[in-house]
Amino acid sequence: MEGFLKFDDFRQYVSERMHTVEKLTQKLVTVPFSLDRPYWVEVPDFDINMHMHCTALPRPGGWKKLRYLVSRLFSQQLNRDCPLWEFIFVEGLDSIPQVPKGLWR
């Protein structure tokens, strides 16, 4: 995966390798009254599209906009009824110094 990276290509890349990490398709279930430790169960209707998202950096971009976007995204709680992971693909990083131009598309 050299060169620029598109969201659809990234989602396909992850999708093809998900079988190597079983926790990616499992959710954490808690036992009522905390009588036992939580345990992992397979999610029968797992949909990778619910865990991989694409967003764009608000214009005009820059580090300030990126920090604001990331802080907003990271402050959201994950849905505990689903597998506990999420990838957020951010487009529009070309306006940020130190990020090579054309790296992300």
Residue 33, Cβ density class (10 Å: 0-12 exposed, 13-18 middle, ≥19 buried) = exposed
pLDDT in tens, the chain (105 residues): 455 788 999 999 999 999 999 999 999 999 999 899 999 999 999 999 999 999 999 888 888 999 999 999 999 999 989 999 999 998 888 778 777 776 555
In a domain, 58, yes or no: yes
Verify cis geometry, omega within 30 degrees of 0, for the bond prior to 58.
no
The pLDDT assigned to 1 comes to: 44
- Is residue 46 in some structural domain? yes
In the chain, the number of structural domains is 1
Residue found by looking up tokens 């998900």 in the block: 18
Domain that holds residue 88: 7-95
Whether residue 54 is contained in a domain is answered as yes
Q: Note whether residue 91 is domain-resident.
A: yes
Residue 1 lies in a domain: no
Indicate whether 104 belongs to any domain.
no
Q: Strands 52-56 and 87-91: what pairing?
A: parallel
Residue 93 to residue 56: CA distance in whole angstroms: 8
Dmax (CA) of the chain? 54
